[in-house]
C-alpha cells in the first residue's frame, strides 16, 4: 500500500473519529466506486451476470434451514462470483428486512467499527436504504461503533456483495459495518451487539477472502486449515488457528484472511443466537478461474450458519393418511381469469415502466396464500418460467412476483422486450405443498410434479412436462437429475437422494383450465 496514501487516509479517519458525527437523519449517498472493474457497470449486463451465477449455484433442499449468517468472498466476479453465488442462492426470495454487511478495511487501520449511519448505498441496480433504526441503536450503544462514512468510500469489501443482495432479496435495508482492525475484542463486541439488537429476521454477512498470494497448492492447504477452524463455530479457535499459521506462512503469503475481524464478529453473532453448526458451501481460489494464475492465488469460501432446527411435528402414525396434496379446481374460473390477466398486465408494466403495477384484489379468493409458477410462451415456445413453492404470500402477490421474474430473471433468456408483448401467452401453475416420498414408484407421471434434492443441489419439473414431452418415467427422472439438478442421470434411484412430489392446478390463456 502506498505510504502517503495510507497516511492521508489515516489522518482523515482520525479527524472523523475526533469530530462529532453528522446527524443520522442527513441523507448521504455512497456511490458505486468499483462498478466497471470488479463487476459490470451496465445495469442490464450486471443483472444478467449475477442471475447467471445464481442459476449455476445449487439451490437449497426444500427442508434446509435458512441461514442466519453467511461468509462470502469479495473479489472480482470473474474470480469469486461463483463462490459468492453459493451463499446468496440460499436466501433468494426470502424476506430479510435487514442485512448487516461486515468487512474489514483494505485501506487503513483505525479503532472500532465504522458505520454509514444514514442515506443509501448506490449500485448500478439502484439504491439500498440504510437501516437507520438499527444504526441509531448501535451508535447509541457506543464503543466500538462510530459514525464514519469516510471509511466506506473507496473500498470494495462491502460493495461487491450489493448486486447479489439486490438480485436475491426485495425491500431490504442495509447496515454497513467496516472494521478497522482484526482485534478480537472489538469483533466480540460487534457480534454480541448484533445478536442483541438485530432481530430474528436479520441476515449477517461477513465479507472476506482467504489466503493471499501463495502458490495454488499452498493456498489450498492453508485455506483448508482456516475453513476447518471456522466450521468449529468457535471464534476463539479461528483466532488461535490464524495466529499459529502466521508463525510459519508459506512463501509469498501476506495474510490468511483479509477480514478476520468481520468473520470473528459473524461467528460471535452466530454463537450468541444459537445457530446450527456452520456448513461449507463452496471453496475455490483465483487459480481456478479461466484467467487465473496458479503461481499467485487468493482463496475464496462461502459458509452458511443455518438457523437452529425448529421443533418438528410428530410424523403421521401408520394408520393415519398423509395430508391431501391436490388443489385441483381450488380457484373459480373467474379467479383464474383474473390471475392470468394480472400476469399479463404485470409483464407489460415491468417491460414498459420497469416496475410491477399497483394492484388491489377485488376477489377475496385471491388472498389465499399459495406457491406458483408463471410460464411465458412466445408463439408456442418457452420464453420464461420461474416459480416459488412456499405459500408465504397471497396468490395475487405470488403471481406478480413470478411473472416479473419470468420476464426479467430467467437466466436462459434475455429480458422480454416491448416488441414481443403481443406474441406472448401465459400459463399459471398453482402448487400444492411438497410431499416427501420414500419410493420413486409413487410418482404418477402427468399428475405429479417432482422435486429432487441431494445436498445443496435441487431440480424441479412441473407435472405438465411429462405430458408435453411424452417422456416415460426413466427419461423424465433422468432429465430432471442431469438437466435441472446437475446430478448423475440415475441419481433418483439412489437412497441418498430426496424425492418430493406435488400437484398443480394449471390454467392458461390458450387452453382449457384443468
Cα torsion angle, 268, 60, 500, 340, sign: positive
- Per the omega criterion (within 30 degrees of 0), is the bond before 144 cis? yes
Pairing relation of β-strands 113-115 and 145-147? parallel
Cell, residue 377: 410462451
What pLDDT does residue 164 have?
Answer: 98
Clarify whether residues 84 and 112 are in a common domain: yes
Is 311 inside a domain boundary?
no
Please answer whether residues 131 and 197 qualify as being in contact, where contact means their C-beta atoms are separated by less than 8 angstroms.
no
Clarify whether residues 234 and 92 are in a common domain: yes
Q: Residues in the chain with pLDDT < 70?
A: 1-27, 309-329, 411, 455-457, 511-514
Burial of residue 247, with CB atoms counted within 10 A of its CB: 0-12 exposed, 13-18 middle, 19 or more buried: exposed
Clarify whether residues 383 and 252 are in a common domain: no
What pLDDT does residue 199 have?
Answer: 87
Last residue of a domain, one of 306, 336, 353: 306
Cell, residue 388: 416459488
Clarify whether residues 237 and 358 are in a common domain: no
Cell 419470468 found at: 406
Clarify whether residues 390 and 267 are in a common domain: no
Cell, residue 344: 399479463
Clarify whether residues 186 and 137 are in a common domain: yes
DSSP result, 437-461: ES-GGG--TTT-EEEEEETTEEEEE
Distance separating alpha carbons of residues 98 and 82, to the nearest angstrom: 24
Please answer whether residues 77 and 151 qualify as being in contact, where contact means their C-beta atoms are separated by less than 8 angstroms.
no
Last residue of a domain, one of 380, 398, 429: 429
What pLDDT does residue 70 have?
Answer: 98
Angle CA 303–453–413, to nearest 5 = 85
Clarify whether residues 216 and 271 are in a common domain: yes
pTM: 0.60
Distance separating alpha carbons of residues 59 and 69, to the nearest angstrom: 17
Q: What is the CATH number of the domain that holds 300?
A: 3.40.830.10
Cell 462529532 found at: 20
> What does DSSP assign to residue 27?
-
Cell 435441472 found at: 484
Clarify whether residues 337 and 441 are in a common domain: no
Clarify whether residues 241 and 342 are in a common domain: no
Distance separating alpha carbons of residues 38 and 154, to the nearest angstrom: 13
Angle CA 115–116–119, to nearest 5 = 150
The residue range of the domain holding 188 is: 22-35+59-306
What pLDDT does residue 326 have?
Answer: 46
- With helix as H, strand as E and coil as C, how does 241-261 read? HHHHHHCCCCCCCCCCCCCHH
Distance separating alpha carbons of residues 394 and 369, to the nearest angstrom: 4
Q: What is the CATH number of the domain that holds 407?
A: 3.30.700.20
Clarify whether residues 423 and 443 are in a common domain: no
Distance separating alpha carbons of residues 6 and 12, to the nearest angstrom: 10
Clarify whether residues 64 and 173 are in a common domain: yes
Question: For the chain, how far is it from start to end, CA to CA, in angstroms?
Answer: 66
Buried b (16+ CB within 10 A) or exposed e, 304-341: bbbbeeeeeeeeeeeeeeeeebebeeebeeebbebbbe
Cell, residue 314: 410428530
Give the number of domains in the chain. Answer: 3
Is 11 inside a domain boundary?
no
What are the phi and psi torsion angles at 482 (to 5°)?
-80, -40
Cell, residue 207: 465479507
Is 109 inside a domain boundary?
yes
Cα torsion angle, 128, 134, 139, 140, sign: positive
Last residue of a domain, one of 272, 306, 340: 306
Is 15 inside a domain boundary?
no
Q: Where are the beta strands (DSSP E) in 113-208?
A: 113-115, 120-123, 126-129, 145-147, 173-179, 203-207
Is 489 inside a domain boundary?
yes
Is 52 inside a domain boundary?
no
Is 41 inside a domain boundary?
no
Clarify whether residues 374 and 504 are in a common domain: no
Cell 447479489 found at: 164
Is 16 inside a domain boundary?
no
Amino acid at each position: 500500500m502506498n505510504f502517503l496514501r495510507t497516511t492521508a487516509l489515516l489522518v482523515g479517519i482520525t479527524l472523523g473519529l475526533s469530530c462529532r458525527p453528522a446527524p443520522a437523519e442527513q441523507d448521504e449517498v455512497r456511490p458505486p466506486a468499483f462498478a466497471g472493474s470488479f463487476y459490470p457497470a451496465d445495469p442490464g449486463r450486471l443483472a444478467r451476470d449475477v442471475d447467471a451465477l445464481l442459476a449455476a449455484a445449487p439451490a437449497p433442499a426444500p427442508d434446509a434451514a435458512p441461514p442466519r449468517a453467511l461468509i462470502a468472498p469479495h473479489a472480482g466476479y470473474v474470480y469469486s462470483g461463483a463462490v459468492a453465488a453459493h451463499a446468496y442462492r440460499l436466501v433468494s426470495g426470502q424476506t430479510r428486512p435487514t442485512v448487516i454487511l461486515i468487512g474489514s478495511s483494505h485501506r487503513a487501520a483505525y479503532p472500532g467499527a465504522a458505520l454509514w449511519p444514514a442515506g443509501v448505498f448506490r449500485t448500478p441496480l439502484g439504491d439500498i436504504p440504510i437501516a437507520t433504526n438499527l444504526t441509531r441503536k448501535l451508535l447509541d450503544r457506543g464503543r466500538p461503533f462510530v459514525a464514519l462514512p469516510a471509511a466506506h468510500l473507496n473500498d470494495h469489501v462491502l460493495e461487491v456483495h450489493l448486486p447479489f443482495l439486490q438480485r436475491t432479496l426485495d425491500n431490504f435495508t442495509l447496515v454497513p459495518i467496516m472494521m478497522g482492525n482484526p482485534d478480537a475484542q472489538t469483533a466480540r463486541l460487534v457480534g454480541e451487539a448484533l445478536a442483541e439488537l438485530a432481530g430474528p429476521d436479520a441476515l449477517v454477512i461477513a465479507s472476506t477472502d482467504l489466503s493471499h498470494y501463495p502458490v495454488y497448492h499452498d493456498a489450498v492447504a492453508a485455506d483448508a486449515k482456516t475453513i476447518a477452524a471456522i466450521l468449529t463455530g468457535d471464534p476463539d479457535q479461528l483466532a488461535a488457528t490464524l495466529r499459529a499459521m502466521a508463525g510459519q506462512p508459506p512463501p509469498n503469503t501476506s495474510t490468511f484472511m483479509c477480514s478476520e475481524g468481520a468473520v470473528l464478529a459473524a461467528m460471535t453473532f452466530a454463537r450468541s443466537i444459537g445457530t446450527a453448526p456452520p456448513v461449507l458451501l463452496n471453496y475455490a481460489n483465483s487459480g481456478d478461474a479461466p484467467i487465473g494464475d496458479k503461481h499467485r492465488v487468493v482463496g475464496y469460501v462461502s459458509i452458511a450458519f443455518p438457523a437452529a432446527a425448529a421443533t418438528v411435528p410428530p410424523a403421521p402414525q401408520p394408520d393415519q393418511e398423509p395430508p391431501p396434496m391436490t388443489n385441483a379446481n381450488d380457484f373459480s374460473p373467474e379467479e383464474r381469469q383474473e390471475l392470468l390477466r394480472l400476469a399479463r398486465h404485470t409483464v407489460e408494466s415491468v417491460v414498459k415502466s420497469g416496475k410491477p403495477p399497483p394492484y388491489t384484489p377485488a376477489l377475496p379468493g385471491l388472498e389465499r396464500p399459495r406457491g406458483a409458477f408463471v410460464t411465458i410462451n412466445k408463439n408456442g415456445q418457452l420464453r420464461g418460467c420461474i416459480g416459488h413453492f412456499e405459500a408465504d404470500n397471497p396468490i395475487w402477490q405470488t403471481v406478480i412476483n413470478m411473472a416479473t421474474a419470468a420476464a426479467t430473471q430467467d437466466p436462459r433468456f434475455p429480458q422480454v422486450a416491448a416488441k414481443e408483448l403481443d406474441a406472448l401467452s401465459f400459463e399459471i401453475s398453482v402448487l400444492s405443498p411438497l410431499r416427501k416420498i420414500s419410493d420413486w414408484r409413487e410418482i404418477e407421471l402427468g399428475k405429479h410434479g417432482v422435486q429432487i434434492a441431494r445436498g445443496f443441489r435441487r431440480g424441479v419439473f412441473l407435472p405438465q412436462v411429462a405430458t408435453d414431452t411424452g417422456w416415460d418415467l426413466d427419461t423424465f427422472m433422468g432429465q430432471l437429475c442431469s438437466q435441472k439438478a446437475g446430478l448423475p442421470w440415475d441419481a433418483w434411484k439412489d437412497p441418498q437422494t430426496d424425492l418430493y412430489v406435488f400437484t398443480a392446478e394449471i390454467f392458461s390463456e390458450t387452453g382449457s383450465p384443468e
